[in-house]
């Protein structure tokens, strides 16, 4: 994916971004939309990216950032998007799964930001993360994931405060149900995948699943100059799922 638009135009002209988990789903759409808007993008992923990256590893995040800086001549933006579901109630999840779920979904953001910070602080920059609607509202059977994503939301606010003196903005996007290989995998694991898909589609007042581009467009906005006064925000993009429920008596 290491690519950029040649005419130098677009809402993200001058942006040099590392997108973690950018080989699939939402991250892939972010990388594609960023390039459409004139950004230069390096994708880091467990497999299939421009650079091999495991966000659970300090060494790996440092290598990926170093490589991104070398290949793009700098770094203005990180999109901490890598993540995975962690299914099961707390009593079903053992300590290894708890640790790995947090490592992937929360510590991965910390490590990526930590490695990128000196570069972002050089000329100001943007930290963007993929949290989740499940970082602001709970659901059954996903305690580890919800706790990790809530951590991403709060980390974003802390980074906004700590980053402001350095010209660093930090924001995250909270997607609702988005049609990606991750969601497809969860639906397929259900006893009745067709019924599960219908239920997932009906959760949001808008009555449809999101598509990766819905989320990527929010990232484009948050990465762009249009959002130059926006920091510490958890932007919900969920078809109204988090707004509440209709109570028809």
| Residue 77 touching ligand NAD (CB under 6 A) | no
Q: Give yes or no: 221 in active site.
A: no
Residue span 151-170 as binding mask against ligand NAD, x where in contact by CB under 6 A, dash where not: --------------------
Catalytic residue among 34, 117, 145, 219: 145
φ, ψ dihedrals at 120, nearest 5°: -65, -35
Spatial separation of the C-alpha atoms in residues 208 and 118, rounded to whole Å:
41
* Interface with ligand NAD: number of residues (CB under 6 A): 28
| Residue 66 touching ligand NAD (CB under 6 A) | no
| Residue 27 touching ligand NAD (CB under 6 A) | yes
- Contact set for ligand NAD, span 191-220 (CB under 6 A): none
Spatial separation of the C-alpha atoms in residues 149 and 166, rounded to whole Å:
25
From the list 12, 19, 23, 39, which residue makes contact with ligand NAD (rule: CB under 6 A)?
23
Contact 105, 56 (CB under 8 A): no
Q: What is the 3-state secondary structure (H, E, C) of 212-235?
A: HHHHHHHHHHHHCHHHCCCCCCEE
Question: Structure tokens of 219?
Answer: 């990232």
Residue 126 or 241: the one with the smaller Cβ distance to ligand NAD is 241
**Distance in Å, CB of 48 to ligand NAD, minimum:** 7
Contact 108, 162 (CB under 8 A): no
Spatial separation of the C-alpha atoms in residues 159 and 167, rounded to whole Å:
11
Contact 61, 40 (CB under 8 A): no
Pick the piece of the chain touching ligand NAD (CB under 6 A) from 21-29, 112-120, 156-164, 220-228.
21-29
Where do contacts with ligand NAD occur on this chain (CB under 6 A)? 20-21, 23-27, 45-46, 53-56, 81-84, 104, 108, 130, 132, 175, 177-178, 180-183
By annotation, the residues acting in catalysis are 145
């Amino acid at each position: 994916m290491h690519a950029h638009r040649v005419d130098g135009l677009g809402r993200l002209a001058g942006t040099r971004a590392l997108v973690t988990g950018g080989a699939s789903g939402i991250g892939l759409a972010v990388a594609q939309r960023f390039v459409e808007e004139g950004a230069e993008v390096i994708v880091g992923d467990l497999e299939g990216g421009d650079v091999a990256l495991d966000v659970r590893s300090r060494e790996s995040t440092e290598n990926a950032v170093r490589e991104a800086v070398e290949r793009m001549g700098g770094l203005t933006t990180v999109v901490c998007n890598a993540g995975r579901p962690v299914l099961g109630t707390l009593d079903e999840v053992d300590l290894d799964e708890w640790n790995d779920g947090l490592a992937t979904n929360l510590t991965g953001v910390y490590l990526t930001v930590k490695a990128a910070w000196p570069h972002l602080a050089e000329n100001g920059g943007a930290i963007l993360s993929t949290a989740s609607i499940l970082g602001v509202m709970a659901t059954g059977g996903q305690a580890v994931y919800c706790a990790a994503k809530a951590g991403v939301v709060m980390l974003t606010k802390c980074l906004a405060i700590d980053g402001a003196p350095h010209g660093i903005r930090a924001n995250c996007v909270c997607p609702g149900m988005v049609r990606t290989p991750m969601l497809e995998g969860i639906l397929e694991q259900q006893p009745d995948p067709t019924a599960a898909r219908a239920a997932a589609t009906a959760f949001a007042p808008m009555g449809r699943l999101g598509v990766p581009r819905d989320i990527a467009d929010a990232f484009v906005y948050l990465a762009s100059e249009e959002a130059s006064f926006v920091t510490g925000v958890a932007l919900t993009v969920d078809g109204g799922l988090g707004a509440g429920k209709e109570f028809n008596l």
